[in-house]
Amino acid sequence: MVRHLLDIDDLSPDELTTVLDRAAVIKAAHEAGESDRPLADQTLGMIFEKPSTRTRVSFETGMTQLGGHAVFLGPDDIHLGHGEPVKDTARALSRYVDAIMARLFDHADAEALAEYATVPVVNGLTDDAHPCQTLADLLTIREQFGFEDTTVAWVGDGNNVAQSFVVGAAMVGLDVVVATPEGYGIDDDVLDRAAEFGGAPQTTTDPEAAVADADIVYTDVFVSMGQEDERERKLDAFEGFQVTTELLGDRTLMHCLPAHRGEEVTDDSIESDTAIVWDQAENRLHAQKGLLVWLDEQS
Ligand code: CP
Ligand code: NVA
């Protein structure tokens, strides 16, 4: 059966641990200068409806390091978005490439891609979910804190990154407290999915209460890609949710990036010694290499 990663709980908790373990081994080998080519002659098709720095470069570099190749398919490069339906794109690409990574607006389009593709489909971010970010986040937290007795405070928008993160955190037994403004919380069905793993996060509208017992403070932009028309309304709604050095204290800062300094986070918070945002960004590469190798082994 072809496996896909549309959200983090497309993996079982055991499979998630296996992918993180595989990523850690691949990272150690990379750091030791060893090279292995388990995906030799394989091609990853990368569909992007939105911009990207980390996702694009980490997947493309990862495929090169694994002995394969990645094809970048931007919004004006293919017929998707210009009249060709998702299901036709899925079937045609499946005849050429060994896996598809897609960054799309509508999560339903990612589901359609997976339904019609005959190769693994990996969600590189939709409006609802960002499971590859969660893989890298969990790898980073496991390396630097471990999961037991670690608490993460999510402060900001209950968006795509937050939603995948709270489910992934529940899968590994990480405690999460979520502070969002009223009306911008995590979707109820996502909280239900987290609860299925025994770890529904506490929710609040008070950032200070959320960080009180936290080891890590995690935030993301207030205005996500595709929400530019909502900018003024969202910036008003998120007043008081900026991660400042005062709110952060001596806690560790995580951010999926890109950061909009002066909005969700201050420049001095990102530049402080407590920020591990570059380790998170690096781990996108290692986590996704672990995922790509694992997906290849399943087919
Ligand atoms: N965090 C993340 O997905 O970054 P990019 O938008 O640069 O890919
Ligand atoms: N929430 C952000 C994440 C970017 C990686 C967005 O969707 O734009």
Same domain, 158 and 194: yes
pLDDT computed for residue 20 by the predictor: 98
Is the pLDDT score of 299 beyond 90? no
Atom of ligand 1 nearest to the CA of 50: 6
> Is 103 annotated as catalytic?
yes
Nearest residue (CA) to ligand 2, atom 7:
224
Q: What is the percent of the chain where pLDDT is above 70?
A: 100
Smallest-distance ligand from the CA of 281: 1
Give me Rg for the CA atoms of the chain.
Answer: 19
Q: Domain count of the chain?
A: 2
pLDDT in tens, 28-51: 999 999 989 999 999 999 999 999
Residues 123 and 219 in one domain: no
pLDDT, mean over the chain: 98
Which has the higher per-residue pLDDT, 240 or 1?
Answer: 240
Determine the Cα–Cα distance for residues 298 and 270; give it in Å rounded to an integer. Answer: 39
Q: Does residue 126's CB lie within 6 angstroms of at least one atom of ligand 1?
A: no
What is the reported pLDDT for 185?
A: 98
Residue 202's domain spans which residues?
132-280
pLDDT tens, residue by residue, 171-183: 999 999 999 999 9
What CATH number does residue 37 fall under? Answer: 3.40.50.1370
For residue 2, being part of any structural domain is answered with no
Q: Is residue 220 part of a domain?
A: yes
| Dihedral pair phi/psi, residue 245, rounded to 5° | -65, -25
Task: Quote the pTM value.
Answer: 0.98
Examine the domain organization and report whether 147 and 101 are in the same domain: no
**Do 224 and 175 share a structural domain?**
yes
> Do 266 and 136 share a structural domain?
yes
Q: How confident is the model at residue 116 (pLDDT cuts 50, 70, 90)?
A: very high
The answer to whether residue 231 sits within a structural domain is yes
Query: Region 256-269: what's the mean pLDDT?
Result: 98
54 lines ligand 1 (CB under 6 A): yes
> Within this chain, do residues 31 and 137 fall inside the same structural domain, yes or no?
no
Quick check: is 247 in a domain? yes
Catalytic residue among 22, 56, 130, 142: 130
DSSP per-residue string spanning 222-290: SS-TT-GGGHHHHHHHTTT--B-HHHHTTSEEEE-S---BTTTB-HHHHTSTTB-HHHHHHHHHHHHHH
